Chains A and B, each alone.
Chain A
Amino acid sequence: MMSALASSLPRWIRGYPLKIAAYLAFLVVLAPLLAVIWVSFFENKIIGFPPTGYTLKWFVNAWNFERFHRGFILSVEVGLIATGVSILLGVPAALALARKKFVGHEVVHSLLMSPLIVPGIVAGAAIFMFFIEVEVLLNDRFKVQLPLAGSLFGLCVGHSLLALPWTVRLVTASLIGMDRQVEEAAMSLGATPWWTFWHITLPIIRPGIVAGAVFSFVASFVDLEKSIFLVGPGRTTLPIEMINYLEWNIDPTIAAVATIQALIIATALIVSDYFFKITRAF
């Protein structure tokens, strides 16, 4: 499909030049990823060019490296929890934002979107300090010892925050794009508002919810900057394990891990798009 803008361009641009530009942009986006995947099969002990040969040993190496194993499992756990929280809070929030007028509407919307705008390092540091202060406060005032900084709970709170804007954004978009007369039609046919919500509204905005969930998970799964402040000893997510590994080694093991990571994310996107047509949410 060619947009109105594209078809208003001179004819000589509309054909090949425009297509070439599209493929070029695609390539720029894809090149680093392709490079990483390629390097993960290099035989060279130190990443270098050209490859002296090809091997699968880095994948085996990554698999056998205990810390990656544990990091991966923690990342999946935290990712799933953050996704759950993001959906449970984000869908009702999106409903309120898309459907209701209330005092502070814009403020609430901006706040929910802020994790996308505030740099991760800044947000991570802020959450870390906030946790410390809450711990101190609880200890001084109520003599309660509640570890937040460096705890699994703290990590999940941080990741939920970073997942939330994705759900809010994508579900709001689905709701705004939805014809509300469809709901009115359902109610005129005898469906209560509750029944209408579960059997009409929810199925219609499902692509937005699934897209929100997938992006929530991905945002959490790959997060580095915030997590640096939130992980604790013996409780480290995969991206941070990768940074730690890179400090002492630069063999292609890291490329192998990155390849697996990319593969998992790509699979999540493709599978969810196949079942829920999440591309319709954009």
Chain B
Amino acid sequence: MATIALRHVTKRYHHTPSVDDISLDIAQGELVAFVGPSGCGKTTTLRMIAGLTDVTSGSILFDGRDVSDLPTYRRNTGIVFQGYALFPHMTVAENVAFGLQMRRVRGTAMAERVNDALAMVRLEDYAHRLPREMSGGQQQRVALARAIAIKPDALLLDEPLSALDAKLRQEVRDEIRRLQRSLGLTTVFVTHDQEEAVSIADRIVVMNAGKIEQVGSPQEVYEKPATRFVAQFIGLSNFLSGEVEAPGRFRIRGGGLLTYGDGKVNGGRQDLIVRPEKIELGAKPDQGLNHLEGVIDSVTYLGPLTEVRVRLASGEKLVAHRQNRRLGELETFQPGQPTTIAWAPEAGFVL
């Protein structure tokens, strides 16, 4: 277990940067999720930390020690891939033992550590199975046991849940989080799924086009996105076009004046951003809230919540999420009906 530091790490393929000058410090025992659309450089970054891909420039430090030039087999990292990547010709126990064999662990010490690792993922009874005789979720847990058995300096997870179905995904996710916490493993978790990142990480790194857009806790990244890209990528956002008149005062297209809590104060054309769940539908005018009138455009039932699209006088559409707390409430919203929407000033921000 170690700290990981990235210093101006860059990867170019044929002169086009895939990862462009990123720097980041990961604390001992921290779980950092790299999230972004495909091709944003998150997997390349993980592969560089693992030593599976060379850095073009910059350096990678484990506990302050430069490992940039070390081949992957000298780095002491445990990797879990999306496709499990278990050794198909070895039993579960042999898979887990492989890294220990490379470390010259033998005899009863070996047997104990293999058993411990398997116990951690609750698969002791499957030691003599072959990978192909197990389900996807079990295979991924074996891969996890194999990676942690070597006591890695860094646990690197490359889309580890993406091949699993929804129910299992949550189960394995919780398993990863529990083990990572109890063993204090410094962990990099790469995913394209922003919900997964928000639910598992201590800190999230949002990447786009080879650069870091924002680093922060899940709450910071969601509630205070640093860039328009982050606001769009992490969760859903409404963008209302208009102008900042004065700090905290925003005039929308069509004339209405709104107030907002946070963000830049420089004037000019801007977007006011507000999250769908912060918007209240059919609210009575109330002091201190932003109010707008519109017409319901569409209503989509999503199970726990209902998504209502409201068309404003300016023609812009806003999405509001409404918890389905009581049965029968849905019928009060029908497309074509006029309605009012409202949100607290501090829920809106300008980038």
Q: What residue of chain A has the Cβ atom nearest to residue B152's Cβ?
A: A188
Q: Report the separation of the CA atoms of residues A190 and B150 in the bound assembly, to the nearest whole angstrom.
A: 9
Asked whether A192 is an interface residue with its Cβ less than 8 Å from the other chain, the reply is: yes
- How many residues of A are in contact with the other chain, CB < 8 A? 17
B156 CB contacts on chain A under 8 angstroms:
188
B74 CB contacts on chain A under 8 angstroms:
190
Could you tell me the distance in whole angstroms from the C-beta of B235 to the nearest C-beta in chain A?
A: 31
Q: What residue of chain A has the Cβ atom nearest to residue B156's Cβ?
A: A188
Interface centre among A179, A186, A187, A192 (most CB of B within 10 A): A187
Interface members, chain B 255-299 (any A CB < 8 Å): none
Could you tell me the distance in whole angstroms from the C-beta of B150 to the nearest C-beta in chain A?
A: 6
Asked whether B87 is an interface residue with its Cβ less than 8 Å from the other chain, the reply is: yes
- How many residues of B are in contact with the other chain, CB < 8 A? 28
Asked whether B83 is an interface residue with its Cβ less than 8 Å from the other chain, the reply is: yes
**B87 and A188 within 8 A (CB):** no
Interface members, chain B 135-157 (any A CB < 8 Å): 143, 146-147, 150, 156
**Known interface pairs A190-B76, A190-B102, A191-B73. Does A185 touch B81 (Cβ–Cβ under 8 Å)?**
yes
Asked whether A92 is an interface residue with its Cβ less than 8 Å from the other chain, the reply is: no
B48-80 CB contact bits vs A (8 Å, 1 = yes)? 001110000000000000000001111111110
Interface centre among A191, A193, A204 (most CB of B within 10 A): A191
Q: Report the separation of the CA atoms of residues A187 and B74 in the bound assembly, to the nearest whole angstrom.
A: 9
Q: What residue of chain A has the Cβ atom nearest to residue B149's Cβ?
A: A189
**A192 and B89 within 8 A (CB):** no
A224-260 CB contact bits vs B (8 Å, 1 = yes)? 0000000000000000000000000000000000000
**A204 and B98 within 8 A (CB):** no
**B89 and A204 within 8 A (CB):** yes
Asked whether B86 is an interface residue with its Cβ less than 8 Å from the other chain, the reply is: yes
A195 CB contacts on chain B under 8 angstroms:
102
**B75 and A188 within 8 A (CB):** yes
Could you tell me the distance in whole angstroms from the C-beta of B23 to the nearest C-beta in chain A?
A: 24
A187 CB contacts on chain B under 8 angstroms:
52, 71-73
**B79 and A184 within 8 A (CB):** yes
Q: What residue of chain B has the Cβ atom nearest to residue A188's Cβ?
A: B79
Asked whether B103 is an interface residue with its Cβ less than 8 Å from the other chain, the reply is: yes
Could you tell me the distance in whole angstroms from the C-beta of B203 to the nearest C-beta in chain A?
A: 23
**Known interface pairs A179-B83, A181-B81, A181-B83. Does A188 touch B89 (Cβ–Cβ under 8 Å)?**
no
**A188 and B77 within 8 A (CB):** yes
A184 CB contacts on chain B under 8 angstroms:
50, 52, 72, 79, 81, 85
**A188 and B78 within 8 A (CB):** yes
Could you tell me the distance in whole angstroms from the C-beta of A78 to the nearest C-beta in chain B?
A: 33
B52 CB contacts on chain A under 8 angstroms:
184, 187-188
**A189 and B98 within 8 A (CB):** yes
A192 CB contacts on chain B under 8 angstroms:
73
Asked whether A132 is an interface residue with its Cβ less than 8 Å from the other chain, the reply is: no
B51 CB contacts on chain A under 8 angstroms:
188
**A190 and B79 within 8 A (CB):** no
Asked whether B88 is an interface residue with its Cβ less than 8 Å from the other chain, the reply is: yes
Asked whether A119 is an interface residue with its Cβ less than 8 Å from the other chain, the reply is: no
Could you tell me the distance in whole angstroms from the C-beta of A256 to the nearest C-beta in chain B?
A: 42
**Known interface pairs A189-B99, A190-B102, A191-B102. Does A182 touch B79 (Cβ–Cβ under 8 Å)?**
no
Q: What residue of chain A has the Cβ atom nearest to residue B102's Cβ?
A: A190
One of B85, B102, B103, B147 near A182 (C-beta < 8 A): B85
Interface members, chain B 143-196 (any A CB < 8 Å): 143, 146-147, 150, 156
A186 CB contacts on chain B under 8 angstroms:
87, 98
Asked whether A200 is an interface residue with its Cβ less than 8 Å from the other chain, the reply is: yes
**Known interface pairs A181-B81, A181-B83. Does A190 touch B88 (Cβ–Cβ under 8 Å)?**
no
Query: Which residues on B are within 8 Å of A, measured CB to CB?
Result: 50-52, 71-79, 81, 83, 85-89, 98-99, 102-103, 143, 146-147, 150, 156
Question: Besides the contacts A185-B86, A189-B147, A190-B103, what 16 more A-B pairs have beta carbons closer than 8 Å?
Answer: A179-B83, A184-B50, A184-B81, A185-B87, A187-B52, A188-B51, A188-B77, A189-B102, A190-B73, A190-B74, A190-B99, A190-B102, A191-B98, A200-B87, A203-B89, A204-B88
Q: Which 10 A-B pairs have the closest CB atoms?
A: A190-B102, A189-B99, A181-B85, A185-B85, A188-B79, A203-B89, A181-B81, A187-B72, A182-B85, A187-B73
Q: List 10 A-B contacts (CB under 8 A).
A: A184-B52, A184-B85, A185-B79, A185-B86, A185-B143, A188-B51, A188-B72, A189-B147, A190-B73, A191-B102
